[in-house]
Amino acid sequence: MRQRLWFLVGIVLALLAFPGITLAAEYFSVVVLPDTQVYSKSHPEIFKAQTEWIVR
């Protein structure tokens, strides 16, 4: 319980230390490709299509 409290206190302090960064942030997306090793080896066409879609 105490560790969780100190963790939350640390997060709050970190966010308060940089208020300008959060206000000026732009929107962004995070892309996740599941199991790229299997795609690139077994289904290279799927891997290529996914990565080309991300670039566009």
pLDDT, tens digit, 9 for 90 and up, residues 11-35? 888 877 776 665 666 787 888 888 8
- What's the pTM? 0.46
- Provide mean pLDDT across the span 5-13: 87
Query: Does the pLDDT of residue 37 top 80, yes or no?
Result: yes
Task: Identify whether the C-beta of residue 36 lies closer than 8 Å to the C-beta of residue 46.
Answer: no
How would residue 52 be classed by pLDDT, with cut points 50, 70 and 90? Answer: very high
Q: How far apart are the C-alpha atoms of 48 and 16, rounded to whole Å?
A: 42
Residue 19's pLDDT is what?
Answer: 65
